[in-house]
Structure 1
Amino acid sequence: MLDFKKNDIMKNLKKYIVYSMLIGSLASCDDELDLKPISEETAASAYATGPQIQAALTGVYESFQSSDYYIWDRVIYQDVRSDNYYAGGDNPEIFQFDRVEVTPTNSRVYGMWGNVYNAISKANVVLENAPLVEERITEEEREHIMGQAYFLRAYHYFTLVKNFGGVPLYLEFINSPDPSVTRLPRASQDEVYAQILADLEEAVIRLPDDYGDDASENKARATKGAANALLAKVYAQMPTPDYAEVVAHADAVINSSAGYSLLSNYAELFSGNNYNNSESILEIQFLGGDEGNWAPQMHLPPSISGDSWRKFVTPSVDLVDAFDAEGDQIRKNATILFENVTWIDEYWGNSPNSSVPFAYKWKNASAWASADNEYLLRLADIMLLKAEALNVLGQTAQAEQIVNTIRDRAELDPLTQEQTSSQSAMRDAILKERRLELAQEAKRWDDLIRYDRAIEVMNNVDDVDLSTGQSVNYNVTEKDLLLPIPQDEIDRNPNLEQNPGY
């Protein structure tokens, strides 16, 4: 990274990480936290040189690798909470997501809030200090560092606003315990989206298309392509979408000099041997061993994981039926693996040795230390978003071409005349295509919200609990479209208002 070896950066990070943990997430710290011993002079001297501010930036990226939310819970928030996967396992708080009955005291929601605000706090440190650094830094390096920090702050606020609606906007590093500074009220949803767009526009200006020839570096760090991809997603997801902007930013990715292109073989995306490929725009990087990914161990079957306990994130009957109805064996086999198990599964078999499907997009458990990366942004997602926007803009034929390109890779026939006969039919076809293409990649709940289909879809899922023989009534209402603000945060910050219905 900017001519510094990773090991050197990690050494420089030690003091930084301790420091950032002390001041980390103001939204999750104790009211009595005393910040006075950490003086402004200490903060300034910690980031006086290029290597030091680069180490601080590395600390922002580290939040992807250390946060339970980004490692694993985002799949729970998006796929388990939707019609794609069941909770599996034995965790009552994950069962809440499965049944769409999340409570304000759910510790996974509290942990996610704190993890994400901690990452925002670290990004603010970089944005405030990078302009002041004078030693051992070029102007190009400074611009790249700031561009990445703007991107990362935007990414994290996008995570928050999608899940909670309006949230407090902390745009400066907090070095005061004054409640007027630390206990901000919720900004409106529109205000948060406006800030995300502003940060991403700053990122696009400053970021390069690539950092050279090292693919692992180009996919590990935010680039102009990543910023444009996120802009496309933001313009599509915001309460009043701007579909012309979705197309413009998707085209900026598709036509980028970074050379993004679909892999010819869908399965190679998830084999564990082809990360940082041409289709990838941004990935969470895991090296294995001490820097490994523990999430695959939670999903994979005993034949791969080497253990015998019931696994989490079980593909749903509805998802398997969707693959089968489409005859989509290529993406199904890359996404799901069936195996006989000794435990009882309430949706797939209420007797031992039933065949149960497993989440399979990560293939290597490696004893809690997998080197499997996680895609945050990849080209097929952005292409389908462009198709979605083109269809809304009345360019259904062009949207059809894009969807058929995605289908062709999966060796599926082109969309039928019935599927493309109207904007409404095409819209449904695109939503289905996204489901099959992006299952287990933490996209489904966002898609259902964006299509205004979450309540309809979830209340029409035909799940039967085999342990009781009764149909499952998800009973999703308007309240459930957003998560509750964590109760612990409301207790600490009386200026926070709970979402309606909780």
Structure 2
Amino acid sequence: MHRNHTIRYLLAATLLLGAGCKKDFLNLDPETAINGNSFYKNETEIKQAVNGAYNILQPLGSESYWMFGEMRSDNTCFQYDNVDRGHEQWEFVDEFLVGATAECISNLWKNSYIGIGRCNDVLDNIGNVTLSDSARNQYTGETEFLRAFHYFNLVRQFGDVPLRLTTITSPSQTLSKGRAPVADVYKQIIADLTDAAGKLPAHYPSGEAGRATSGTANALLGKVYLTQKDYPNALAALRKVQAAGYSLLTSYADNFDPNKKNGPESIFEIQYLGSQTGLYSTFMYTFAPWTSGSAVTGDTKTGIAGSGSGWNIPTADLIAAYEPGDKRRDVSLALGFTDASGVFQHIPYCKKYNHGFTDVGRTNDNFPVLRYADVVLEIAEILNEQSYVGNGEAFDLLNQVRQRAGLARKTAADLPGQSAFRDAIFHERQVELAFENHRWYDLLRTGKAVDIMNAHGAREKAAKNYIPANAYAVTTNRLLLPIPQTDVNLDNLTQNPQ
């Protein structure tokens, strides 16, 4: 059964809706402007606004999500460029040295709140438009899901964050009420996702694939509850996903093939369209070693050099995590490339999103956000946390994922207790979901981030002479990113201690 996924983004109007500003200082609406006074009049315009709320996921997916979800973890790093130092702050993310003035931190914060603002615009205006009950429920549920998704990312990266739930309609509303406590942010996330799950359809016609479904909302809700260690509610939400008709694909590689987008295992993906200007992806180029020329991309007309490439490079720790015979390794990464002179260069790179180009500099790869394999492993983890049962359902779920990867089943003889099974799930998630932006959040929610990242950092510094001496000094404070300094200054926010 094919589920959600492949939105046809309507950009001409929707990109103008995100700021939430209704009037200029003269209270005049220019004839060429689209704003709240001239928009939100019918279903077509509501749908355009909802599509605009989805659209902000593209720039977030192209930079922020992998940078802070994957490269900040022990899974990936960067290829050092001693000539082009244009993205030094990206290196600092990996090394736990990034500061409050870094553009990459500002981009994560800014684009997340742009997305939240677009959701608020829809939710504040949809009540004024004549819609069928099914259409109203769908558009409300979609924007509630997206708002919850943004806040879930923000609260895990920054801790307390401003909770903006209404459209800004006047300068007096520009300042927030300050940073809302983490508990309040989670309360809102859960409220949004619970309502969305009840309103969203289970699936869409093929032409509307790509939109959030009830399964999407429940999958994220289960992850939220799991993060809070609320195992009963997490299991209840994930059981609904389990019953919704998703399934593991026979081939792991098919999950990432642009010709097989949005398949039975896909719960939610960031949609990119390689054929359309402004909607294509570029992961293959960004993740290729900057010294690889066209050897990795096959694109002889796009130069791979400089600070735009060489990111999200697999670490020695990640490569070593794959068991012998694991089919996922060769789908996910390469150990190097053969250069133009025929010499093999031992510089690994991520190839999970390497499927050629649709045009010079453009690719058609989507980015997976939620996959059914993630849900399967989460249910196994929860069952074990509730009560270890040797060779019980949790083992069956773990082994579904392992056997697809060509690995032997695990039994109670291999994993004789709760702690051993917990470690096995943690390991399995690292290799199954590598390069899909789950690793950092798994480190956080399991309480392993400080120890693992300090040990990882010690190995990195021993192997690489360009890493600063003060890198990877990971403390509990440094698990949160600094609030962008501009927002600290303009919005009177307190800064996270580093």
1:358 to 338, 349, 353: 349
Does 1:500 find its partner at 2:489?
Answer: no
**Alpha-carbon deviation of 1:400?**
1.6
Q: Which residue of 1 aligns with 2:107?
A: 111
Question: Separation in 2 of the partners of 1:152 and 1:308?
Answer: 34
Partner of 1:275: 261
Q: Is 1:242 equivalent to 2:230 in the alignment?
A: yes
Partner amino acid for 1:170?
R
**Taking structure 1 as reference, are residues 42 and 106 closer, same or farther at Cα in structure 2, changes over 3 Å only?**
closer
Which residue of the partner structure matches residue 455 of structure 1? Answer: 450
Distance 1:158 1:442, change over 3 A: same
* 8 A Cα contact 2:161 2:181, kept in partner: yes
Q: After the TM superposition, which segments of 4 or more aligned residues of structure 1 sit over 4 Å from their partners? A: 33-39, 464-467, 469-473
SS in 2 for 1:273: helix
State the partner residue of 2:282. 294
Distance 2:157 2:201 in 1: 30
Question: For the structure 1 residues 6 and 478, does the alpha-carbon distance in structure 2 shift closer, same or farther, using more than 3 Å as the test?
Answer: closer
- Equivalence for 2:3: none
1:334-380 deviation line (CA, Å, top 9, x unaligned):
1001334669xxxxxxxx95311111110135233211111111100
1:251 aligns with 2:239: yes
Q: Is the 8 A contact 2:384 2:421 kept in 1?
A: yes
The change in CA–CA distance for 1:151 and 1:469 in structure 2 (over 3 A counts) is: closer
Amino acid at match of 1:287: L
How far apart in 2 are the matches of 1:19 and 1:412?
Answer: 49
Question: Which amino acid letter does the alignment assign opposite residue 247 of structure 1?
Answer: L
Q: How does 1:304-383 map to 2 (within 5 A)?
A: 304-305=296-297, 306=299, 307-309=303-305, 311-323=310-322, 326-340=323-337, 354-366=345-357, 367-383=360-376
Counterparts of 1:436 and 1:148, CA distance in 2: 30
1:84 maps to which of 67, 75, 94: 75
Partner residue in 2 for 1:29: none
TM-score, scaled to structure 1: 0.86
Contact 2:314–2:333 (CA under 8 A) maintained in structure 1: yes
The CA deviation string for residues 108-151 of structure 1, in whole angstroms up to 9 with x for no partner, is: 001110101001000011111112102xx322111111111111
State whether residues 70 and 439 of structure 2, in contact with CA within 8 Å, keep that contact through their aligned partners in structure 1: yes
Contact 1:235–1:246 (8 Å) recurs in 2: yes
**Structure 1 pair 334/46, CA: closer, same or farther in 2 (3 Å)?**
same
Amino acid at match of 1:157: Y
Aligned to 1:347: none
Match of 2:171 among 164, 177, 185: 177
Residue identity opposite 1:354 in structure 2: Q
The equivalent of 1:221 in structure 2 is 211
Aligned to 1:266: 252
Aligned to 2:16, the other structure's residue is in SS state helix
Cα distance change of structure 1 residues 82 and 6 upon mapping to structure 2, 3 Å threshold:
closer
**C-alpha distance in 2 between matches for 1:225 and 1:108:** 31
CA distance in 2, matches of 1:417, 1:392: 15
Paired residues of 1:383 and 1:402 also in contact (CA < 8 A): yes
Structure 2 CA distance, aligned partners of 1:304 and 1:354? 11
CA shift for structure 1 position 417: 3.7
Give the counterpart letter for 2:118 in structure 1: K
On the 8 A contact 2:164/2:176 being kept in 1, the answer is no
Question: Root-mean-square deviation (CA), in Å?
Answer: 2.5
C-alpha separation between the residues in 1 aligned to 2:168 and 2:467? 52
Contact 1:148/1:221 (<8 A) preserved: yes
- The offset of 1:418, in angstroms, is 5.4
Asked if 2 retains the 8 angstrom alpha-carbon contact of 1:16 and 1:46, the reply is no
- The aligned counterpart of 2:419 is 424
Q: How many residue pairs get matched?
A: 462
Whether the aligned pair in 2 keeps the contact of 1:304 and 1:364 (CA below 8 Å) is no
In 2, the alpha carbon distance for the partners of 1:265 and 1:337 equals 18
1:11-22 equivalences in 2 (<5 Å): 13-21=11-19
Length-normalised TM-score, structure 2:
0.87
Which of the numbers 188, 193, 199 marks the counterpart of 1:200? Answer: 193
Kindly indicate which of the two structures has a greater share of residues assigned to helix.
1
Q: For 1:43 and 1:217, how far apart are their aligned partners in 2?
A: 25
Quote the Cα distance in structure 2 between the aligned partners of 1:42 and 1:111: 24
Residue 466 of structure 1, CA deviation:
4.5
% identical aligned pairs = 34
1:303 match: secondary structure: coil
Q: What's the offset of the Cα at 1:395?
A: 4.0
The Cα of 1:319 is off from its aligned counterpart by 0.6
Shift of 1:235: 0.4
State the Cα distance separating 1:481 from its structure 2 match. Answer: 1.1
Structure-1 separation of matches of 2:483 and 2:139: 32
* Secondary structure in 1 matching 2:369: strand
Q: Could you tell me which runs of 5 or more consecutive residues in structure 2 were left unpaired when the two chains were aligned.
A: 1-5, 82-86
d(CA) in 2 for partners of 1:193, 1:17? 28
Deviation of the 1:500 alpha carbon? 2.4
CA contact (8 A) 2:246 2:372 kept: yes
| C-alpha distance in structure 2 between counterparts of 1:168 and 1:79, whole Å | 25
User: Once the 2 structures are TM-superposed, how far is the Cα of residue 38 of structure 1 from its aligned partner?
Assistant: 5.8
